[in-house]
Structure 1
Amino acid sequence: MLNTFSVLKPHLKFKNSFVSIDNLAFKFHYRATFAILLVCTLLVTSRQYVGEHIRCITGSSIPEHDSSVPHPGVGHMINEDPVKYHAYYQWVPFVLFLQALMFYFPHYIWKTMEGGKIRKLADGLRMVELSHYYKENNSVTFDTKYTLHSKSEIDKKILQVRNAFERHRIINHLWAFKLVFCEFLNLINVLIQVRYTNKFLSGRFYHLGIDFINEDFDGTMDVLDTVFPKVTKCHFHKYGHSGTIQKHDALCVMALNVINEKIFSFLWFWYGILVLVSICALIWRIQTYWLHGRSTRFNEIVFSFACPGNLSKSDIGILTRQYKFSDWLFLYYLARNMDAHLFKSLFRCIMTPIVDVEATLTSKLIEDSQYNENAREN
């Protein structure tokens, strides 16, 4: 079994990536759901757990059964009896794999739109915590992966990031709205997948989880057997000895539906959680858009999670008054991807020119006010 799932190992490496360009709700889609659907695809395509996916009994009589039918849902047909056709089972692996790709697609779009801007600015800062205590003028490299920077190089890096951030404010003013678009696309995608799955299962997916919860499992046939029958009737048409077509009635065991019922029952609950998480993520994003430029206290709380430690309240106030939502969100993701003390230095470096401008304007307003008062007195 472990050998079977080893083929997914390259696709399921959830590394603790140094750079994060999205939130936890986004990761629910392109990491968790993508991995779940890949595992499900592997399960339904593997023969070693269920044997033959479908096997039919023909050419012999059915053994005696203690009821009027050989299996629930299978028996002598009357003209008035409704006939249910189950042909979806042969498409299950293709549908699951396609859904896995669809859940990864919004992340691919956002990654392309983002263009690696956060990674480029945060690159090379993996050992800044140690660099903070490093007093030498030369850099030291360990294992060709990590570099211990000198104090002067760190200051230079901070200035470069600050200049890049200022260029970002001019050029990439739609950065945040592209992220919001992809987050909204996540919600639209999961709703589409729920609707498509319901259509794929002939309209039985919407209430599958509710029916499963309400099922007492005391009868001869439970709710899952009606959607995923384990035994069904099949008709085969063959040419007889005289060349006419003969109809053969067979009883077919669909062992794969033992796996399918577990997969789609789980997906019903998972998709429900995913819809709820996606809606909450969008509500949170709307709240941040509304409060980022109105509440200094809100900004203090948000940046305290991204950058542990207290930032200057005066700088936070300037951030609240001066920055648009796209710039605010970009700065927040910089805080998430940088060491706390380094971001504090960057934050101060970004705010200092604005503080100086505000101080100059305030001083000018005071001078003008005093001049007007003196003019009125004279």
Structure 2
Amino acid sequence: MDNVNEKYYRTMGVEGLGIEEHKEIYTLLYYQWISLLFCFQALLFYVPRYLWKTWEGDRFSQMVKDLGGPIVSDKWSSTYKEKLTRFIITNENHDLFAFRFAFCEFLNLCNLIIQCLLMDWYLNGKFSLYGYEVATKPWPQAYNRVFPKKAKCTYTKFGHSGSIIDIDALCILPLNILNEKFFLIIWYLMVVLFIITFGALIYRLLVLTWREFRIYLLMAQVRNVSREKCQQLGKNLTHGQFFFIYNIGKNMNPIIYKELILLIYEQL
């Protein structure tokens, strides 16, 4: 009886070459639009810079013009000292100015998140782990999953009688040899930008909320000014005033900057 069952139920053949029906069909819709995607990404990255340059209006460079050299400039007169000190102390827009800068830094993070989601959608969910897979898997397998060099193509045209005819062909995709490298560089660049941007936001949050941190930054920047004076300045200065002073100090002669700090200390 067992011999009879074997003759009727035994598998008589094995699977041969061909496309398996249960495999997922991966449609390549990105191939002809990559150059436009890169242009769109460049525009998105420029938006925070454009906003800040518009709001800042070249204000910092104009205020420290001719004051950053190693020799004290003639521009640093008693009249200019008084004007600059009064502007820093009495102007009420410094807080708004500082919050705009913080908003641009936050916009950088939002921009990165949006662009990563866009790239992941663009590559059918293959971008988020692309760099990791390239680093951990054999490189031909990792590359070819996302950027195949050959693919099945279906062309549609009209026949002689007007009916639609589908033509099946094998397409060569030579640009994917470059695309796989470009997107790998972009993936690692995104990771580095995430680390830098997230660190910048933590730093900005500390400056915004922690007064002692602002005092420490001021002491590290100003030379030969007592700790007590820096602490008094840190307590009396608003976040916007500190932001303005700290940024012009980056591009100002140390002697001039020290004198400016002492003038502000005397008038607060």
TM over 0.5: yes
* Matched residue, 2:176: 257
Q: What amino acid is the match of 1:299? A: L
Deviations along 1:94-115, one digit per CA (max 9) or x if unpaired, are 1111111111101111222223
* Matched residue, 1:292: 211
Q: Sequence identity, in percent?
A: 28
For structure 2, the 5+ residue unaligned runs are 1-15
Among 24, 29, 35, the alignment partner of 1:82 is 24
Among 213, 217, 239, the alignment partner of 1:325 is 239
Shift of 1:246: 3.6
The TM-score normalised by the length of structure 2 is 0.85
* Matched residue, 1:167: 90
Aligned positions of 1:124-135 closer than 5 A: 124-127=66-69, 129-130=70-71, 132=72
Which one scores higher on RCO, CA 8 angstroms, separation ≥ 6? 2
CA distance in 1, matches of 2:156, 2:100: 56
Q: What amino acid is the match of 1:334? A: I
Aligned positions of 1:200-239 closer than 5 A: 200-217=122-139, 221-239=140-158
The TM-score normalised by the length of structure 1 is 0.62
Describe the shift of the 1:294–1:161 C-alpha distance in structure 2 as closer, same or farther (beyond 3 A): same
Contact 1:102 1:189 in 2 (8 A): yes
* Matched residue, 1:155: 78
For structure 1, the 5+ residue unaligned runs are 1-67, 70-75, 133-148, 355-378
Describe the shift of the 1:244–1:334 C-alpha distance in structure 2 as closer, same or farther (beyond 3 A): closer
Shift of 1:184: 0.8
Aligned positions of 1:24-39 closer than 5 A: none
* Matched residue, 1:54: none
- TM-align CA RMSD: 2.3
Deviations along 1:233-286, one digit per CA (max 9) or x if unpaired, are 112233445655443222111111111111111111111111111111111112
CA distance in 2, matches of 1:99, 1:123: 34
Describe the shift of the 1:321–1:207 C-alpha distance in structure 2 as closer, same or farther (beyond 3 A): same
Describe the shift of the 1:104–1:279 C-alpha distance in structure 2 as closer, same or farther (beyond 3 A): same
Shift of 1:203: 0.5
SS at match of 2:19: coil
Describe the shift of the 1:231–1:159 C-alpha distance in structure 2 as closer, same or farther (beyond 3 A): same
